[in-house]
């Protein structure tokens, strides 16, 4: 999974208003349906992480980001083939254990995947 790097890409995903929420995370999604973005033979998914200072100091934020990267790789297969995802941490994510975040990411990515399939995207 590639990374979302530019501010413009983050804003584009966040403005689309398609999101799935859970107790410690919010997953924003933008599914690409145009041919030029999805012309790759392999799935083209990009991940962005949004962990604000409200979550905690730098060590805590980096720990949360590392956990999200691992979990996103683990459940990447649940997502639509061509999409951009922004995983946003709520402040409670700093105190959540790894198993709880694991269940939340699994549920959220499955919901994103089923919405994309249901809408024909």
pLDDT per residue over 34-85, tens digit each? 655 565 556 689 999 999 999 999 999 999 999 999 999 999 999 988 899 9
Residue 100's CATH number: 3.30.230.10
Task: Give the total number of structural domains in the chain.
Answer: 1
Contact 29, 112 (CB under 8 A): yes
pLDDT greater at residue 55 or residue 116: 55
Count Cα atoms within 13 angstroms, Cβ side, for 120: 0
Confidence of residue 9 (pLDDT cuts 50, 70, 90): very high
For residue 13, give its domain range.
2-115
Helices (H), 1-121: 7-15, 58-74, 98-118
In a domain? residue 102: yes
Q: Is the pLDDT of residue 118 over 60?
A: no
User: What's residue 29's pLDDT?
Assistant: 94
In a domain? residue 121: no
| Measured CA angle at 86 (ends 35, 80), to 5 deg | 40
As a whole number of angstroms, the distance between CA 121 and CA 118 comes to 8
Which contiguous run of DSSP H or E holds residue 97? none
Confidence of residue 32 (pLDDT cuts 50, 70, 90): confident
Count Cα atoms within 13 angstroms, Cβ side, for 108: 27
């Amino acid at each position: 999974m590639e990374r979302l790097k530019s501010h413009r890409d983050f804003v584009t995903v966040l403005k689309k208003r398609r999101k799935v929420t859970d107790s410690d995370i919010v997953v924003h999604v933008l599914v690409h349906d145009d041919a030029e973005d999805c012309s790759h033979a392999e799935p083209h998914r990009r991940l962005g992480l949004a962990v604000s200072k409200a979550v905690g100091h730098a060590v805590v934020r980096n720990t949360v980001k590392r956990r999200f990267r691992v979990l996103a790789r683990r459940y990447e297969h649940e997502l639509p083939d061509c999409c951009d995802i922004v995983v946003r941490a709520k402040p409670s994510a700093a105190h959540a254990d790894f198993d709880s975040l694991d269940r939340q990411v699994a549920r959220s990515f499955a919901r994103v995947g089923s919405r994309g399939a249901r809408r024909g995207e």
